[in-house]
Amino acid sequence: MKRVVKEAMGDCSTVEEFRFLVRCQECSGIWHSTPIRFSKAGAEPEPEGMRTIFRTLYEREREAAREMAAAEAAEIFNYCPVCGRLVCDRCFLICEDLDLCIACANKLRVRGRIVAGETSDAREPPAGADGKITTEGDGTI
Ligand SMILES: [Zn+2]
Ligand SMILES: [Zn+2]
């Protein structure tokens, strides 16, 4: 699961911090990982040798941040076994036999319970209510 998420994950890291995003392939909601600050953010790498060291450090920290973001995203995103898409908790149903995304469940006429619906009985939780999924932005990386 984490591997699937990792492959689908976009990188929106800056020179200062590492951040990743995953887009739900059903509702297009974009989830951003918790930003992780680069340990040398703001530092002026002088001389040339330091710059190389910073760059290497940056790459290493970005990889670690990517791992963490993937673990974080794996809690929120689900892989639909039928259509093979990655969808958020709001678009994924726990069904009796096989858990499916909303689109597949509708198509196959399977009834289930929405994953994200467990904790609240609100009819239609607004996007971003939990501060994690937003539909803003075009997701360009
Ligand atoms: Zn969704
Ligand atoms: Zn599906």
DSSP character string of 63-116:
HHHHHHHHHHHHHHEEE-TTT--EEEGGGEEEESSS-EEHHHHHHTT--EEEGG
Ligand 1 centre from 59 Cα, in Å? 31
Ligand 2 centroid vs 82 CA: distance in angstroms? 5
- Ligand 2 center from residue 25 Cα (angstroms): 9
Distance CA 104, CA 82 (A): 7
The partner residues of 113 in beta bridges, in order of sequence, read 94
113 domain residue, yes or no: no
* Numbers of helices and strands, H then E, in the chain: 3, 11
Token pair 């699937």: residue: 4
Identify which ligand lies nearest to the alpha carbon of 28: 1
Q: Ligand 2 centroid to 86 CA: how many Å? A: 8
Query: In total, how many domains does the chain have?
Result: 1
Ligand minimally distant from the alpha carbon of residue 134: 1
Tell me, yes or no, whether 99 lies in a domain: no
Asked whether residue 49 is assigned to any structural domain, the reply reads yes
For residue 60, tell me if it sits in a domain: yes
25 domain residue, yes or no = yes
Token look-up 């069904």 returns 95
pLDDT at 122: 43
- Is 140 a member of any domain? no
Residue 87 CA: which ligand is closest?
A: 1
Domain containing residue 71? 2-90+126-134
Q: What is the mean pLDDT of each run of 10 residues along the chain (141 residues)?
A: 88 96 97 96 85 94 97 95 95 93 94 75 46 52 50
Examine residue 46 and state whether it is found in any structural domain, yes or no: yes
Assess if residue 23 is contained within a domain.
yes
Residue 94 CB neighbour total at 10 angstroms: 14
Whole-model pTM?
0.75
- Quote the ligand 1 centre to 11 CA distance (angstroms): 19
According to the model, what pLDDT value does residue 115 have? 86
